[in-house]
Amino acid sequence: MKLEELEEVGRHIRQERARAGLNQRDLAEQAGLSQPTLHRIEQGARAALSVTELDRIARALDVPVRYLLRGNPVADRVRVAPRTAREATQEDLDEARRLVVDLLALDDRLTESSTPHRACTPSPHPSSRSAPVTDAESEGMAAAAALRTRLGLGLAPLVDLPELLETATRLDAGAVSIPSTISGISAQDPARGVAVALVNICDVPERQRFSYAHELGHVVLDDGVVVDHLRGGRSPQEIRCDAFARHFLAPLEGVRQEWERTATNCEPTTKDGSVDPLRRLAQVARHYRVSLSVARIQCTKLGIGLPSDCQDTLPTNREAAWRFGWGPEYEAEVKAAQQISPPRRILERAVRAYEAGSIGLKPLARLLCMEPQEAETQLEKAGIRPPAPPEPRRINARSMAAARRGHPRRNDEEPPRA
């Protein structure tokens, strides 16, 4: 290789090592190299790089050799849109991007090594310019209503949102551990027509659901947004995705009907025998599993007059749950929301590929956010294991040599055995 090519290979190795979460010492040990040797390779300072060394590094990273030679094509073409707080650092954004790129790169490898689990339709290369927004609220509401109609959802609350996204909209969805400054992240691979939405396990259930719906809005509206800051400086496209999420999760007509039901279904708590408006608002939020602030916005859109205690600082969903009688149920939801949940379609394909011997344990463990040994233990308990390695073949060297010379095999010689 030329010097420029060696430097390029070194850069690709550094990138894949970072995605794998390994330091130089770890990778060097797993690849059977010394750390100084690996350091020189990554810096492009080696006069030569053998095929054997490159293969060892690729095996240790569990990536195709071509990723080290030409780079990861998925990382170069994906569109990534994190949903962040203003205080998110570049390091936070880079970590979230690495995670979602690693996920899509694994899915790309699974597509190459087996028959795709579902048809993927390549989309045209996206424009770098965002789609214009005339009226963010009405456009978001119209898109949400159209999708609900197409999916036959009516006004019902959405029970298992990740399942709905994956089966009905072909958007891979999952909950992962990402920096706390990032609520969600969506990514699209335009070459394969694959999109993924990830939410943070640090967030409460209603925030996760809103993030899922918001990221779905990016895909449905195809607005080309790169970064969404939750506090200040938000673009019209982001505001439109918020509107989409609100109306997709809690359609106005459904909110109106639930509000009216609370007048008779809830226990009267005021002196005049009526139901506390905050109690009614909390019931609407509980019914649609959204935050009280989302329920309040929807009630305001309907022209429902709310007292000052519902207009000022609202209690959290946890506080409202314990105050109004469903605290234990809410805590169970919080506990479930804190569990790592990779996109189901990708996980199913990865497990199938692992059983077939198409991928190793490391990429599957990264997908599960587990250490390899822990992942192997859990898979073993479920009866999932890779194929056994082929038994080494033994041969009789003397017999083969005699055959080449044309001499017959002596009676005391064993024939070659498989």
- Indicate the domain borders of the chain: 3-71, 79-249, 252-325, 393-418
Which of 3-7, 51-55, 133-137 is the least confident region? 3-7
CA dihedral 17, 104, 122, 9 (to 10 degrees): 0
Counting residues of the chain whose pLDDT is more than 90, the rounded percentage is: 43
* Helix/strand/coil for 278: helix
Tens-place pLDDT, residues 307-347: 877 777 899 999 999 999 999 999 999 999 999 999 999 99
Residue type at 235?
Answer: S
| The token pair that represents 341 in the structure block | 């949940």
- The CATH-assigned architecture of domain 3-71 is Orthogonal Bundle (1.10)
**What is the structure's pLDDT at 408?**
57
Using CA atoms, how far apart are residues 264 and 232, in angstroms rounded to an integer? Answer: 40
**What is the structure's pLDDT at 229?**
47
What element of type H or E holds 212?
helix 205-221
- Does residue 104 contact residue 71 with C-beta atoms inside 8 Å? no
**What is the structure's pLDDT at 233?**
59
Residue 123 pLDDT > 90, yes or no?
A: no
Place of tokens 């060696």: 6
Number of CB atoms found within 10 A of residue 411's CB: 5
Using CA atoms, how far apart are residues 108 and 172, in angstroms rounded to an integer? Answer: 13
- Does residue 238 contact residue 136 with C-beta atoms inside 8 Å? no
Residue type at 15?
Answer: Q
Counting residues of the chain whose pLDDT is more than 70, the rounded percentage is: 84
CATH of domain 79-249: 1.10.10.2910
User: What's the pTM?
Assistant: 0.77
Helices and strands counted in the chain (H then E): 21, 5
Which of 44-58, 200-214, 380-394 shows the highest mean pLDDT? 200-214
**What is the structure's pLDDT at 88?**
82
Q: Rounded mean pLDDT of 129-153?
A: 88
Higher pLDDT: 402 or 186? It is 186
Residue 131 pLDDT > 70, yes or no?
A: no
- Does residue 119 contact residue 230 with C-beta atoms inside 8 Å? no
Residue 380 pLDDT > 90, yes or no?
A: yes
